[in-house]
Amino acid sequence: MKAIKFSGPLKKRAGIILFLLGVPVLLAAFFLSRPPALILSDAGFDALYGPGRTLFRQAGLSLRFFRRVKRVLVAEDANPEATVFAIEEGAAEPWAVLGHARYRRGLDLYARQYPDVRVVLIREDVFPDPAESASGPESVFIDTRLNSWRAGRCAAMLAGEGRGQILVFQDRQDFPVNREAFLAGLREENEALIPLYLSSAADYSFWDDVRCVVLGGPGDLYFNRNSEIPALLFTWMDPALSPGSVKITVDDSLWALASEALRFPGGDSGGYRSLPARFTVLRGSLGDRELGKKLKKALRLQIPASLFQ
């Protein structure tokens, strides 16, 4: 049987086809050959965040860094040795390992055992100790001040013009809402609004003057009592599951911060780093296009340098 020979235009077309088929194969081989990034998670968080949303973030990170991004499931109460074992099972020589502060003891141990692997820890400290953050895993902090300033501006916009109260429910002093920064953001938009800070379990019943609610903790109690006042919710929950009164969600989870947390190579991040949360204006929740534009514009702004000097 004679071999088929191509000549002229057919030969040229065959060469182009082989090239076009070969490039994706080479890219895929290169992609799979690169050491993966490992992100620590647990089943409870994945269920809260939403499986589809998690896969979307995971795929986006893989494309951004052009390497596999793998989840490593670790029980939240796992001991440090179990955390190290789970990471080792994820990859023998990963490009980087990223985890939340709740896995800190395990990541500390892993960083000591594998000093050549970049280990990044996302922390919530409002006023971190520079000496402490300089040792162990590379620390990236949640930018509570910027988040709170933006939340204050958004709460004022949701409240509209005129006087009234803004309720802020949270169980920790100045986290996730820093009071000074929140008030500064609020005053940027409306100086007549008054913030009132309460615990998440507070039995509050004076709703007549309340113009907006900011929920920095569990919101079941509030949502069971009132569903008409616009709310801004700090949550890791899938926004699709939030009640209709929630107009904006604030996500400071590991998946929301991972892209920027891993962007700089180890040692080139310039020391202390803080990253803002992901604010999402829920589609169809406002019924006001102009308000939506104003909110999105405010969420792109940075705190004026002179504000907290």
Task: Specify whether the CB–CB gap between 104 and 86 falls below 8 A.
Answer: no
Task: Specify whether the CB–CB gap between 257 and 279 falls below 8 A.
Answer: no
CA geometry: angle at 19 spanning 16 and 24, to 5°?
135
Tell me the pTM: 0.85
| pLDDT score, position 307 | 72
| pLDDT score, position 12 | 58
Task: Specify whether the CB–CB gap between 271 and 257 falls below 8 A.
Answer: no
- CA-CA-CA-CA torsion sign (269, 270, 272, 277): negative
| pLDDT score, position 10 | 59
| pLDDT score, position 70 | 95
List the structure tokens of 64.
């951004």
Task: Specify whether the CB–CB gap between 214 and 155 falls below 8 A.
Answer: yes
For each of the chain's 309 residues, which pLDDT tens digit applies? 455 555 556 555 665 665 556 666 666 564 566 899 999 999 889 998 998 999 999 999 999 998 999 999 999 888 999 999 999 999 999 999 999 999 999 999 999 999 999 999 999 876 555 555 555 789 999 999 999 999 999 999 999 888 999 999 999 888 999 999 999 999 999 999 999 999 988 888 888 899 999 999 777 777 777 678 999 999 999 888 888 889 999 999 999 999 999 987 655 445 678 899 999 999 877 877 888 899 999 999 888 877 766
List the structure tokens of 76.
């939240």
Nearest CA to 228 out of 216, 211, 249, 205 is that of: 211
Where residue 235 falls (left for φ over 0; alpha for ψ -120 to 50; beta otherwise) is beta
Tokens 């504000």 correspond to what residue? 307
What is the C-alpha separation between 158 and 140, in angstroms, rounded? 31
**All domains of the chain, ordered by start, with CATH?**
7-123 (3.40.50), 144-252+277-298 (3.40.50.2300)
